Amino acid sequence: DRPRPAKYARLPYATAQTGLVYDVRMRFHVEPVPNEKDMHPEDPRRIHAIFEAFVHAGLAWTKTGSEDGPTKFHMGRIDARQATKEEVCLVHTVKHWDWVQTLSSKTAEELHGMLQHAGQPMDSVYLSPNTPFCAGLSAGGAIEACRAVMLGKVKNAFAVIRPPGHHAEREDVKGFCFYDNVSIATKACQREFGEKCRKVFILDWDVHHGNGIQQAHYDDPNVLYISLHVYLNGQFYPEGSFRDRRQAYGDHLHCGKGAAQGTNVNVPWKTHGVGDADYMYAFQQVVMPIATEFAPDLVIIAAGFDAAEGDVLGDCFVTPAGYAHMTHMLMSLAEGRLVACLEGGYNLDSIARSACAVARTMMGEPPDRLHNLKPSNKGVDVVKRVLRQQSKFWSCLYPKD
Active site residues: 167
CA 366, distance to chain mean position in Å, is 22
For residue 24, give the nearest of 131, 128, 129, 137 by alpha carbon: 137
DSSP state of 176: T
Q: How far is the CB of 388 from ligand 6DK (least distance, A)?
A: 27
Q: How far is the CB of 292 from ligand 6DK (least distance, A)?
A: 27
Q: Is 240 in the site for ligand 6DK (CB under 6 A)?
A: no
The Cα 96–Cα 169 span in angstroms is 9
**Window contacting ligand 6DK (CB under 6 A); options: 97-105, 159-167, 278-286, 355-363:** 159-167
Residue nearest to ligand 6DK (CB): 344
Q: How far is the CB of 105 from ligand 6DK (least distance, A)?
A: 26
List 306, 309, 311, 365, residue binding ligand 6DK (CB under 6 A) = 306
Q: How far is the CB of 41 from ligand 6DK (least distance, A)?
A: 5
213 vs 330 by CB, closer to ligand 6DK? 213
The Cα 383–Cα 269 span in angstroms is 9
List 237, 269, 283, 394, residue binding ligand 6DK (CB under 6 A) = 237
**How many other C-beta atoms can be found within 10 angstroms of the C-beta atom of residue 328?**
15
**Window contacting ligand 6DK (CB under 6 A); options: 11-19, 98-106, 172-180, 375-383:** 172-180
DSSP state of 103: G
Q: Is 164 in the site for ligand 6DK (CB under 6 A)?
A: yes
In terms of Cβ atoms closer than 10 Å to its own Cβ (0-12, 13-18, 19+), residue 299 is buried
Q: Is 343 in the site for ligand 6DK (CB under 6 A)?
A: yes
**Window contacting ligand 6DK (CB under 6 A); options: 57-65, 94-102, 137-145, 164-172:** 164-172
Q: How far is the CB of 289 from ligand 6DK (least distance, A)?
A: 26
Distances (CA, A) of 165 to 103, 179, 193, 362: 17, 5, 23, 22
Q: Is 310 in the site for ligand 6DK (CB under 6 A)?
A: no
For residue 26, give the nearest of 164, 177, 161 by alpha carbon: 161
Residues 268-287 that bind ligand 6DK (CB under 6 A): none
Residue nearest to Zn ion (CB): 344
- Give which of ligand 6DK, Zn ion, none residue 41 binds (C-beta under 5 to 8 Å, depending on kind): ligand 6DK
Q: Is 175 in the site for ligand 6DK (CB under 6 A)?
A: yes
Q: Which residues bind Zn ion (CB under 5 A)?
A: 206, 208, 304, 306, 344
The Cα 113–Cα 401 span in angstroms is 61
Residue spans of beta strands (DSSP E) within 205-359:
223-230, 264-269, 298-303, 338-342
The Cα 54–Cα 363 span in angstroms is 12
For residue 266, give the nearest of 254, 248, 274, 278 by alpha carbon: 254
List 99, 176, 201, 305, residue binding ligand 6DK (CB under 6 A) = 176
132 vs 210 by CB, closer to Zn ion? 210
Q: Determine contact, residues 336/297, Cβ cutoff 8 Å.
A: no
Q: How far is the CB of 181 from ligand 6DK (least distance, A)?
A: 10
168 vs 333 by CB, closer to Zn ion? 168
How many residues form the binding site for ligand 6DK (CB under 6 A)? 17
Exposure string over 235-263, b if 16+ CB within 10 A, otherwise e? ebbbbebeeeeeeebbebebbbeeebebb
Q: Is 177 in the site for ligand 6DK (CB under 6 A)?
A: yes
Q: How far is the CB of 228 from ligand 6DK (least distance, A)?
A: 13
The Cα 145–Cα 340 span in angstroms is 9
250 vs 344 by CB, closer to Zn ion? 344
Q: Is 124 in the site for ligand 6DK (CB under 6 A)?
A: yes
- Give which of Zn ion, ligand 6DK, none residue 87 binds (C-beta under 5 to 8 Å, depending on kind): none
For residue 74, give the nearest of 62, 82, 83 by alpha carbon: 62
Q: How do strand 120-121 and strand 116-117 relate by DSSP bridges?
A: antiparallel
The residue ranges that bind ligand 6DK (CB under 6 A) are 40-41, 124, 164, 166-167, 175-177, 206, 208, 237, 304, 306, 313, 343-344
